[in-house]
Amino acid sequence: MSEANWSVGAVAKRCGVKISTLHFYEQQGLIQSWRNDGNQRRYKPEVLRRISVIKAAQKVGVSLDEIRQAFMSLPNKRTPTIEDWQQLSKNWQRMLDGRIAYLQTLRNNLAGCIGCGCLSMTNCPLYNPDDTLAASGSGPVILDQAEQEAMTDTTALDKSLGDLECQS
C-alpha cells in the first residue's frame, strides 16, 4: 500500500477505530480524505497523527467541538506538529483544571448535605430559596462562579510561572 494512499480500512485498523468513526470525524471536519479513480476514500499518512490527537484529547475530556476549533486555528488546517501539540495541550490543560475545580466544588458542596443525610434547606450551599440567584444568571450559579474563580486562579498561576521562566 502506498503511504500517500491509505484506504479507510487500513486507517481504521492502524488507529484502532471503526470505519464509521472515520466517516464521522470527516463529517465533523476533523479529518479529510480524497477519492481515487474508483471513487474510494483515501487518506494521506498525516491523518494517523490527527486521529491520535483526537483520541488523546477525547480521553482527557476535550470535546470534539473544542478539538475542531483547535485544528481550525492551525495554519492551512495542517496536522499538528510537536510544537502545536504542546500549545494545544497547554490550552486544554487550563480548561481541564477549571473543570476539575468545578467538580471538586460540586463534590464538596454535595458532601455537606448528603454526607449527614439532613438535606438541610437552611445550610445547603446549593439551595436557592425563591430563586434569589436568578439575577446572577441561569443554571447552577454558585458552582459556575466557583468554576470561573478556579479558571482565574489557574490563569494567574500560569502567568506567575511564565514570569519566573522569563527571569531564569
Q: What's the burial of 85, exposed, middle or buried (CB within 10 Å: 0-12/13-18/19+)?
A: middle
Identify whether residues 106 and 136 lie together within a single domain: yes
Question: Do 109 and 142 belong to one domain?
Answer: yes
Q: Residue 135 belongs to what domain range?
A: 82-168
> Structural domain tally of the chain?
2
Please check whether residues 69 and 89 belong to one and the same domain: no
| 15 against 119, higher pLDDT | 15
Of the residues 80, 100, 123, the one at which a domain ends: 80
Query: Residue 142: which residues within 8 A CB-CB, separation 6 or more?
Result: 109, 125, 126, 128, 133
pTM for this prediction: 0.61
- Point out the domain boundary residue: 60, 80, 100: 80
In this structure, what CATH number is given to the domain that contains residue 48?
1.10.1660.10
Q: Would the pLDDT of 28 be above 90?
A: yes
The string of pLDDT tens digits covering residues 117-129 is 555 555 565 566 6
pLDDT in tens, 123-166: 565 566 677 777 887 776 766 776 677 666 655 544 533 443 33
Q: What one-character-per-residue DSSP string does the chain give?
A: --TT-EEHHHHHHHHT--HHHHHHHHHTTSS--EE-TTS-EEE-TTHHHHHHHHHHHHHTT--HHHHHHHHHTSGGGPPP-HHHHHHHHHHHHHHHHHHHHHHHHHHHHHHHHHHHS---TTT-TT--GGGGGGGG-SS-HHHHHHHHHHHHHHHHHHHHHHHHHHH-
Contacts of 21 (CB under 8 A, 6+ apart): 12
Query: Which three cell numbers, joined as nine digits, stand for 43?
Result: 487518506
Report whether pLDDT(74) > 70.
Answer: yes
- Together in a domain, 90 and 166: yes
Residue 53's pLDDT is 87
Rounded percentage of the chain residues whose pLDDT exceeds 90: 26
CA distance 43 to 99: 35
